[in-house]
Structure 1
């Protein structure tokens, strides 16, 4: 005989009652799939399936969203037309809605359960109150009225009456109504003292004294309560938590921690256990065990979110506690330790509370910015890399993200939002994330074209694009700033970097014109207020000198470098400017000599000769001055480039003295005598440098011109010996064609040249 439906349904219930929930669920689903199932039978199976899933979820600490939704769906499917749920089903649905974090729906189901005569109506009423307190906010007057109902109600258990009394005492204490507390305790003393809850009444008295500020009295009474009670009793746990609280407020964190740890060791999951976890987090922070403290905060947050109703603490209290530790640590300069506290506090701010969200975003951004900049400063202040640069970048990028979030949250406050975007760009810029910083500023310019920050934004955009080598976009932004905001400090500051970008692009003529706007501006231009004292004027002057060197406009370079030295003798670049000015005189003299030899310039030969001599003498003077300037400094303070300037000055000053012979009377041998001494000194100072070979060649020529053949021969031999002393690696700095073999062959050739060989033969 086939089993009846009642037997089949009984089998499902038996499996569920045995804890075989997956099997029961699967069997119920198979029965539902049968084509012979009647609508009434299906509804009963849906109801049982909901019960099976509920029993499974009721035993879980973490509830599956899908299962909770199936409880609701299956109970809905279990109703026929005109039917309604019984009280127990309403309670089951209420819990499912709680697990789904839908408190309004849970409240409605609980209220239906009470109205339909649920057996434990007072427990359900307590739950309704806990949910309302957590989600709606109830006035103290209404709370007292509800608690009074529990104290006076028929059939209310002693445990629930004590809970109501405990809540009233705590509420009176928070209100500061201590006189009413004492009257309430006196009126209810008989209710508890003559019962199994006598110890609990002493706890109420201790709680009242705690709120009154009689903490030492409360501590003594609480210790007495714990001595009289078993650790398994709930009041033993409450007393342990409150003792921890009192000792914590008396700044005895180590003793407070011992009580919190005792509570955690003995208490089952519940409100006081969660409160003790928070107490542990706070006392660990006071003991500067920050990593453990943060872990406890995370645990307290998770427990409170898992059980948001009926708790001694709520997420707002946790947020305020973590925020207080952030402020305390930040005020003491413990920025890194403050970070996790602020992060955890920030994520507890309700999403709808945009003003508080904005405040926390700003605090997080400011803290991350300070940390990042501090780490960057530490990194830059050490000779060796400390590895803090990567961490600094992380903090600065976090700051940028939080400032952008602040800008969105404060969108109705234009000034605050604009400042936040600006700070975001600063943060990304400091992090070296120039593309992101540029994207932020580009959006700023597009969204706020009338802001007084736009000129500076355009200048910074130009700098950022320039830094990443995007010269076209950099030029576009600099030119936009100059076109729209000419004369503003930001536009003036854009001119030199604009010229740099144009130079990189090879547009040297436009670069020159840009720089001339600063140092040779017309009287009617908006830049006429830029005086030589301005940084931009100074930068433009040095840049023009370099530009003229690059374009071989040496006369213009002489003028600009001379002006730069006259105006800014103490500028860090003055040594380089001095060298380049000497170079401009030397190279331009070579050009003048070419003009001097040109037959077309015969009418101007005297002027050309005089200018040629003047340029060479000025170059000599500048090289001498540069050598003397560096001689007065400690050798260890000289950089590689400065050492190069000194070396070249020694060789080039000998060259310019030697070149005076080109236009001197043939009988005037002083250029050879003077340059011979200078070449000899240069060769001696830099005997391990291949450049010394050129000096030796010039010395040989000078001796031949002076008729000192023996000296020429000796110098040739000196050159050969000197060549042997030049290290191989020294040749790597020069053209690969001028290696040791090259100079050896050159000296051999020189010795065999007719002029040199005849002179040597004649001397024999």
Structure 2
């Protein structure tokens, strides 16, 4: 028997030696999984599960089937496999490894309440899974992510802060801190809505202080994300981490802007532009630089910044604006930059800035 079993070789091995056949199927499935050929991996694992009912690896085969279906975006089928493991072998290590992928499958199906229950089972008095376990860590981070997805920012902050304190030095530390920073930042508008109401002075001052604290905390966390991910090679980052790195550059500048630290915001926006020069989001940073100068009444510098933004627009490839998630398309940018270069709009911006400073 060769030391390395290829998928093709497994297909021609006879069933005379049952053990050899089961091993060939097992290793063949590994080959397909490594190549991310999920449909082929599923076919081989199903053969294994059917042909080898007494094999001690049956439970692991069910878990691998669940993971392969999850990777292949067959979420409903993945749920069936993970639930079967949990129902038939609830105390097994394989069952413990199935809680989080089951929750992820449910989240993909938008069955968020069920996913929440599954994750809470792990982090709330699970008889076997303790905070130092890999499964508990994964469940806690995923629970914070789920609260964040549902815009339950207070709960997200609580869970993610716990995750940061426990596992902040782990590989997912940057992800934890980005989600926590974004939860702090996105919780601020609710405070701002409350501040629009008639409030006692003491209550207003407390809310204003809390708003500033959250923005300051968010800015600090975004800065940590930037530092951590800048130190890594792009090839070592997931697509999500690359997105978090980019957004952290822009959002930490937004926090400084919202705190009224306009000079600092300009410096941070400028850093974002330098790192993501070809990204259409760089225009948003340049526009905010214009706005920051207007807020301070420095219109000559605002005009220079606006000219820089217009020059940047010409350098960005047209296809870069095809992303539907962008807040503005190319025509919107062109119109805005054209109109804001007119003196009357700058005057309006100056007046608006003056009004805000006197409020």
Q: TM-score range by the shorter chain?
A: 0.7 to 0.9
Partner of 1:520: 124
- Cα deviation code 1:649-683 (max 9, x no counterpart): 2211110111124xxxxxxxxx2232223223333
Partner of 2:10: 396
Where do 1:254-269 residues align within 5 Å?
Answer: none
Where do 1:59-78 residues align within 5 Å?
Answer: none
- Using CA pairs under 8 Å that are at least 6 residues apart, name the structure with larger relative contact order, 1 or 2: 2
- Cα deviation code 1:162-199 (max 9, x no counterpart): xxxxxxxxxxxxxxxxxxxxxxxxxxxxxxxxxxxxxx
Q: Give the conservation status (yes or no) of the 8 Å contact 2:122–2:136.
A: yes
Distance 1:635 1:481, change over 3 A: closer
Shift of 1:538: 1.8
Q: Which one has a bigger Cα radius of gyration?
A: 1
Distance 1:394 1:673, change over 3 A: same
Q: Tell me which of 252, 255, 269 is aligned to 1:653.
A: 252
- Determine the C-alpha separation between the residues in 2 that align with 1:682 and 1:610: 28
Partner of 2:134: 535
Shift of 1:492: 0.9
Query: What is the root-mean-square deviation of aligned Cα atoms in Å?
Result: 3.3
Partner of 1:509: 113
Partner of 2:268: 678
Shift of 1:554: 1.9
Partner of 1:500: 104
Where do 1:619-630 residues align within 5 Å?
Answer: 619-630=218-229
Count of aligned positions: 343
Partner of 2:4: 371
Q: Give the conservation status (yes or no) of the 8 Å contact 1:499–1:514.
A: yes
- Determine the C-alpha separation between the residues in 1 that align with 2:275 and 2:69: 45
Q: Tell me which of 571, 577, 586 is aligned to 2:170.
A: 571
Q: Give the conservation status (yes or no) of the 8 Å contact 1:716–1:747.
A: yes
Distance 1:569 1:396, change over 3 A: farther
- Determine the C-alpha separation between the residues in 2 that align with 1:463 and 1:639: 19
Q: Tell me which of 33, 38, 48 is aligned to 1:440.
A: 48
With the length of structure 2 as denominator, give the TM-score of the two structures. 0.81
**Structure 2: segments with no counterpart, 5+ residues:** 33-39, 352-359
Q: Give the conservation status (yes or no) of the 8 Å contact 1:595–1:601.
A: no
Indicate whether 1:748 and 2:334 are aligned. Answer: no
Where do 1:423-502 residues align within 5 Å?
Answer: 423=23, 425-432=25-32, 433=40, 434-442=42-50, 444=52, 455-502=59-106
SS at match of 2:174: helix
- Determine the C-alpha separation between the residues in 1 that align with 2:184 and 2:107: 24
Partner of 1:705: 295
Distance 1:598 1:470, change over 3 A: same
Q: Give the conservation status (yes or no) of the 8 Å contact 1:459–1:494.
A: yes
SS at match of 1:562: helix
SS at match of 1:371: coil
Q: Give the conservation status (yes or no) of the 8 Å contact 2:295–2:350.
A: no
Q: Give the conservation status (yes or no) of the 8 Å contact 1:424–1:437.
A: no
- Determine the C-alpha separation between the residues in 1 that align with 2:200 and 2:165: 33
Q: Give the conservation status (yes or no) of the 8 Å contact 1:682–1:695.
A: yes
Distance 1:481 1:578, change over 3 A: same
Partner of 1:592: 191
- Determine the C-alpha separation between the residues in 1 that align with 2:97 and 2:241: 29
Distance 1:603 1:487, change over 3 A: farther
- Cα deviation code 1:606-659 (max 9, x no counterpart): 443333222111111011122222344457766665444333222111101111
- Determine the C-alpha separation between the residues in 1 that align with 2:26 and 2:215: 50
SS at match of 2:10: helix
- Cα deviation code 1:418-457 (max 9, x no counterpart): x667535514522533124224315655xx5xx8665445
Distance 1:602 1:452, change over 3 A: farther
Partner of 2:210: 611
Distance 1:637 1:502, change over 3 A: closer
Shift of 1:490: 1.6
Indicate whether 1:406 and 2:10 are aligned. Answer: no
Partner of 1:727: 317
Shift of 1:495: 1.0
Q: Give the conservation status (yes or no) of the 8 Å contact 1:396–1:430.
A: no
Q: Give the conservation status (yes or no) of the 8 Å contact 2:178–2:244.
A: yes
- Determine the C-alpha separation between the residues in 2 that align with 1:733 and 1:548: 26
Q: Give the conservation status (yes or no) of the 8 Å contact 2:184–2:215.
A: yes
Q: Give the conservation status (yes or no) of the 8 Å contact 2:294–2:350.
A: no
Partner of 1:547: 146
Q: Give the conservation status (yes or no) of the 8 Å contact 1:485–1:491.
A: yes
- Determine the C-alpha separation between the residues in 1 that align with 2:350 and 2:205: 38
Shift of 1:547: 1.7
Distance 1:426 1:552, change over 3 A: same
- Cα deviation code 1:696-747 (max 9, x no counterpart): 2222222222121222222222222222232334334465884444322111
Q: Give the conservation status (yes or no) of the 8 Å contact 1:396–1:431.
A: no
Partner of 2:182: 583
- Determine the C-alpha separation between the residues in 1 that align with 2:129 and 2:22: 27
- Determine the C-alpha separation between the residues in 2 that align with 1:623 and 1:510: 31
